Amino acid sequence: MSITLQLWLPILASAVGVFLASSLIHMVFQWHNSEYRKLANEDEVRTAIRAQPPGPGMYFLPHCTDMKEMGSAEMTKKFAEGPVAYLTVRENGPPKMGQSLTLWFIYCVIIAAITGSIARYILGATPPSGQIACVVGTMSFLAFTGGGSGWASPGAA
């Protein structure tokens, strides 16, 4: 029997657990609300962006094409003057929560499957439960927390 078939119940249980915990954190306790701020001139910024709308994607400003350009006097001045920002542009319209939550759950299942399979490979068929929790917990923590942009930004409050 394949490793994944033996682990399907723990994989689904952990994916459901992470999904429910993250739902509580984001929707009930609203842990991250303080990280999202409103611009004082939001309407003017929206108007400026709509004047020449960029396509959906991630943008950085000021933008450099390479490290040589980043060291130029002009670019150094732009960074000093600011603002320095990451901008994510999405498709127009209200957020598609059903699609977002479905993709998040699938991501949780994938992380659980990968960490469970790696733990099984590393630890063998019948390791002590403490070792399983340590290995799977560490890998899951790294997978869920290591992918965010801005998590190590010194200026982020």
Q: Does the CA dihedral 24-25-31-32 come out positive or negative?
A: negative
Specify whether the CB–CB gap between 144 and 111 falls below 8 A: yes
pLDDT category at 137 given cuts 50, 70, 90 is confident
Specify whether the CB–CB gap between 132 and 123 falls below 8 A: yes
What is d(CA 20, CA 26) in angstroms, rounded to the nearest whole number?
10
What is d(CA 125, CA 116) in angstroms, rounded to the nearest whole number?
11
Three-class DSSP category at 31: coil
The pLDDT tens digits of the residues spanning 87-134 come to 899 999 998 899 989 999 999 999 998 988 888 888 887 788 788 888
The pLDDT tens digits of the residues spanning 38-94 come to 999 999 999 999 999 999 999 999 999 888 898 899 999 999 999 999 889 999 999
Question: 39 φ, ψ to 5°?
Answer: -70, 140
The pLDDT tens digits of the residues spanning 81-92 come to 999 998 899 999
Specify whether the CB–CB gap between 114 and 29 falls below 8 A: no
